[in-house]
């Protein structure tokens, strides 16, 4: 089968790889019909995530058709169109029982801090991902969901990660009616966080980024204010001033370890890799939220400490809540929002690329070329 | 061991939130009777490990399922095995893993050659899309690359000249 193949930082290609096989009675094999490139994939692509082995297939946002099921699988049948949450979750451990499907304790032997994730390095369990024609889906009875007949498949594929992650970013902000919410990052997750903030009753939503086309898109898509930090002398000061010198009620970090905006962080974190990425967005979020406010983090950070101003967190009494989205818990509500037209994720899709052109797709998304917001990869086997 | 200096019942309000199934937090955690009891759940059936799977030393056992592609091999594999002697909270774990990734990249190129595949680095880097959507940036990168190469060549030549002068 054809699959994306990671060869080292910034180097990927489409290659023939062996077909995945059932390895556990709870497995299913899914023929991928659509997969996305996620902003989180760029951390892998740039070589920032430890234990990303050459030969890995990325891709944790995908939908497809069930081709084969293991002997224990009861909720799916061959031929079902399924959306597959990016978390691999057993449904039995104490974390899954609490709805923390992003924290499953039975899907990632390599690390306890995070559960298994499709195509997200061996630090997240070493599973191959969905940027391929076929993919092995463990615990197929737990995560995957049959796509409702009335749902557009472009919406469905975005419900596997980007929509729930953006929504949970807003949810973790504990937004109260009238709150000012600042979202750092105008990528797809930031856009969904901004859009979701309104659903929770925000009175004002501000998006900060440095790429003009993304800011223009944010204004249109999320009906929010959008500012380019490159044109601001000091982004934290700007937020303080625009909130009557109080600070934002809620700040959302939807950027993670590859944030621009601070030369020292960029040099030490992104270029020299002397620390696990750049913590610029987190610094800004912590420093521009009001005292007693909430910082919600969904951006991906490396596993080591990153010069986070934790002293400020203590002194300001900030609540920080962060997690991988628990997709399964959120899906019923999100589907309702999509059906009602309150969320319109497929509008973010700007590029549809055959899987064969995965190298160019990654480069366009990574380098922010061609006004790219969201890319979908379509294998030639999608329309079998 | 219990502190006998005070009786908890004398502390006003103590125990008001002691029922773990009744914690009013946001969002409401789905508490259950297994909370605080360790790894007590009914474990899923165990996937058999057909390849070497490195396991965090912060776990008592391997997880019920795991990914099997790309098991550790070669020099990078040795470095990875060393890394897994350290816990996830240690630089001794993460830094060797990052080093192993860089070594693995070179191993990947060697493997390509072994299989008779000459890697098209330009294509893998997405060069075609850079040329199409950012021709100025592409030209700048080429010029910078040439300048760096020329500088390295000049330095090497000068070093060689210096060595020749010694004889």
**Structure confidence at residue A323 (pLDDT):** 83
Give pLDDT tens digits for B90-138. Answer: 888 988 999 999 999 999 999 999 999 999 999 999 999 999 999 998 8
Q: How far is CA B2 from CA A13, A49, A75, A381, in A?
A: 61, 44, 49, 65
**Structure confidence at residue A311 (pLDDT):** 55
Angle at A198 between CA A228 and CA A241, to 5 degrees: 45
A109 contacts in B (CB within 8 Å)? 53-56, 59, 62-63, 66
Token representation of residue A234: 């000091």
Q: A132 or B158, which is more confident?
A: A132
**Structure confidence at residue A310 (pLDDT):** 58
- The answer to whether residue A177 scores a pLDDT higher than 50 is yes
Contact A118, A139 (CB under 8 A): no
Give pLDDT tens digits for A308-367. Answer: 655 565 556 566 778 888 899 899 989 988 998 888 999 999 999 999 999 999 999 999
- The answer to whether residue A384 scores a pLDDT higher than 60 is yes
Are A109 and B40 in contact (CB < 8 Å)? no
Give A223's contacts (C-beta < 8 A, 6+ positions apart).
A198, A205
Q: How many CB atoms neighbour CB A27 within 10 A?
A: 23
For B33, the 3-state DSSP assignment is coil
Q: B40 or A68, which is more confident?
A: A68
**Structure confidence at residue A303 (pLDDT):** 63
Instruction: In whole angstroms, give the CA distance from residue A178 to residue A13.
Output: 47
Token representation of residue A274: 């002397």
Residue labelled with tokens 């109260």 = A176
**Structure confidence at residue B40 (pLDDT):** 84
Q: Distance from A123 to chain B by nearest Cα, in Å?
A: 10
Q: What is the mean pLDDT of chain A?
A: 92
Q: Distance from B10 to chain A by nearest Cα, in Å?
A: 30
Angle at A272 between CA A115 and CA A235, to 5 degrees: 80
Are A110 and B91 in contact (CB < 8 Å)? no
CA atoms within 13 A on the CB side of B156: 6
State the pLDDT confidence band at A161, using cuts at 50, 70 and 90: very high
Closest CA to A31 of A148, A119, A140, A136: A136
**Structure confidence at residue B24 (pLDDT):** 47
Q: What is the mean pLDDT of chain B?
A: 85
Give pLDDT tens digits for B80-89. Answer: 999 999 998 8
B104 contacts in A (CB within 8 Å)? 8, 53-54
Are A88 and B134 in contact (CB < 8 Å)? no
Instruction: In whole angstroms, give the CA distance from residue A317 to residue A179.
Output: 18
- The answer to whether residue B27 scores a pLDDT higher than 50 is no
- The answer to whether residue A276 scores a pLDDT higher than 70 is no
Contact A41, A55 (CB under 8 A): no
Per residue, what are the HEC states of A87-137? EECCCCCHHHHCCCHHHCCCCCCCCCCCCEECCCCHHHCCCCCCCECEEEE
Q: How far is CA B34 from CA A92, A97, A329, B139, B151, in A?
A: 11, 9, 20, 62, 66
- The answer to whether residue B21 scores a pLDDT higher than 70 is no
DSSP-derived secondary structure for B83-142 = HTTS-TT-HHHHHHHHHHHHHHHHHHHHHHHHTT----HHHHTTHHHHHHH-HHHHHHHH
Instruction: In whole angstroms, give the CA distance from residue A131 to residue B85.
Output: 32
User: For B101, which of A47, A107, A363 is closest by C-beta distance?
Assistant: A47
**Structure confidence at residue A100 (pLDDT):** 84
Instruction: In whole angstroms, give the CA distance from residue A167 to residue A345.
Output: 11
Number of H helices, E strands in chain B: 5, 0
User: For B129, which of A54, A98, A363 is closest by C-beta distance?
Assistant: A363
Are A363 and B126 in contact (CB < 8 Å)? yes
State the pLDDT confidence band at A382, using cuts at 50, 70 and 90: confident
**Structure confidence at residue B25 (pLDDT):** 47
Q: A261 or A358, which is more confident?
A: A358
The whole-model pTM stands at: 0.87
């Amino acid at each position: 089968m054809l699959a994306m193949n990671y060869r080292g930082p910034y180097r990927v290609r489409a290659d023939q790889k062996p077909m995945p096989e059932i390895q556990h009675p709870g497995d299913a094999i899914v023929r991928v019909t659509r997969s996305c490139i996620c902003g989180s994939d760029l951390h892998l692509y740039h070589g920032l995530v430890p234990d990303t082995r050459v030969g890995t297939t990325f891709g944790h946002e995908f939908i497809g058709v069930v081709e084969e099921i293991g002997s224990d699988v009861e909720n799916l049948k061959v031929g079902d169109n399924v959306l597959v949450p990016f978390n691999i979750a057993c449904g039995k451990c104490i974390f899954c029982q609490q709805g923390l499907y992003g924290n499953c304790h039975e899907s990632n032997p390599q690390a306890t801090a995070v559960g298994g994730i499709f195509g997200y390095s061996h630090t997240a369990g070493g599973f191959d991902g969905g940027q391929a024609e076929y993919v092995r889906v463990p615990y197929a009875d737990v995560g995957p969901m049959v796509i409702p007949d009335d749902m557009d498949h472009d919406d469905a594929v975005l419900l596997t990660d980007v929509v729930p992650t953006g929504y949970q970013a807003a949810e973790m902000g504990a937004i109260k009616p009238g709150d000012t919410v600042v979202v750092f990052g105008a990528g797809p997750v930031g856009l969904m966080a901004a859009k979701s903030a309104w659903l929770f009753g925000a009175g004002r939503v501000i998006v900060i980024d440095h790429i003009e086309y993304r800011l223009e898109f944010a204004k249109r898509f999320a009906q929010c204010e959008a500012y380019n930090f490159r044109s601001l002398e000091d982004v934290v000061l700007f937020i303080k001033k625009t909130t009557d010198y109080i600070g934002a009620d809620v700040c959302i970090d939807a950027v993670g370890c590859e944030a621009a905006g601070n030369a020292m962080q960029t040099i030490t974190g992104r270029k020299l890799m002397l620390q696990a990425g750049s913590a610029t967005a987190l610094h800004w979020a912590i420093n521009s939220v009001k005292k007693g406010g909430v910082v919600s983090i969904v951006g991906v950070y490396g596993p080591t400490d990153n010069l986070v101003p934790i002293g400020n967190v203590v002194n300001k009494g900030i609540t920080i809540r962060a997690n991988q989205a628990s997709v399964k818990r959120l899906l019923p509500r999100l589907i309702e929002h999509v059906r009602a037209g309150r969320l319109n994720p497929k509008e973010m899709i700007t590029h549809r690329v055959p899987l064969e052109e995965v190298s160019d797709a990654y480069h366009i998304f990574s380098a922010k070329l061609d006004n790219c917001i969201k890319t979908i990869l379509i294998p030639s086997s999608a329309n079998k | 061991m219990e502190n006998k200096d005070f009786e908890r019942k004398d502390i006003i309000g103590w125990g008001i939130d002691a029922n773990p199934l009744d914690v009013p937090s946001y969002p409401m955690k789905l508490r259950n009777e297994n909370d605080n009891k360790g790894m007590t759940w009914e474990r899923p059936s165990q996937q058999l490990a057909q390849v070497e799977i490195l396991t965090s030393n912060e776990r008592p056992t391997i997880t019920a399922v795991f990914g099997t592609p790309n098991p550790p091999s070669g020099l990078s594999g040795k470095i990875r095995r060393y890394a897994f002697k350290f816990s996830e909270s240690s630089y001794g774990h993460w830094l060797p893993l990052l080093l192993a990734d860089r070594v693995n990249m070179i191993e990947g190129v060697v493997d390509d050659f072994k299989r008779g595949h000459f890697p098209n680095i330009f294509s893998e880097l997405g060069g075609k899309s850079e040329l199409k959507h950012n021709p100025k940036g592409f030209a700048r990168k080429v010029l910078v690359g040439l300048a760096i190469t020329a500088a390295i060549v000049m330095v090497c030549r000068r070093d060689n000249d210096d060595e020749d002068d010694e004889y």
